[in-house]
Amino acid sequence: MTYKEKLVKFVKLKNANIRKFGFIYANYKDYKDIRSWSEKNCKIIFNKIVNEIMCPCGIDELSYPTCPWCLYNYLDCPLCSYGKRHGECPKKDSTYKKYATTEVKKSFTNEVYRDMINKIES
C-alpha cells in the first residue's frame, strides 16, 4: 500500500469514528486532496503520525499531530486545503469546532489510534 493510501485509510478510519457521533470529518474531496500530494510528503506525514501515536507517552484526543493537513501545511491554516473546504479549525464556525466536542475528542484514545495504525499496517 502506498503512503498516500495509508494516509487516506487513516483519515477514513478517523471519519468512521467521528461519524458515530453524527459528524463528518472528511469526504471524497479530502481523499482526492491527499492523493494529489507527493508520495514523499505522504510518507513523511504518515510516519510523523505513527511516531506520535507509538511513542511511549502516546497521544489522546483529536489534535494537530494526527491531522494530515496540519502536518502538510505546517499549521499554516490560511494555506490549508481542508480548512478551505471545512473552515479553518480555530474558527468557531469550522467543521472541526462542530465535531471537536469533549465526547468526540475523548473517544480518540491512544489505544484507538494504535488500533487504527495496526489496521493500516496489517
**Three-class DSSP category at 2:** coil
DSSP 91-114: STTSHHHHH--HHHHHH--HHHHH
Average pLDDT over residues 85-108: 87
- pTM for the whole thing? 0.93
Q: Tell me: pLDDT of 94 over 80.
A: yes
The whole-number pLDDT of residue 83 equals: 93
Which of 45, 38, 39 lies closest to 69 in space, CA to CA?
A: 45
Show the CA angle centred on residue 24, arms to residues 96 and 62, nearest 5°: 45
**pLDDT exceeds 80 at position 102:** no
* Closest-CA residue to 117 (of 4, 9, 5): 9
For 25-78, the pLDDT digits (tens) are 999 999 999 999 999 999 999 999 999 999 888 887 788 899 999 999 988 989
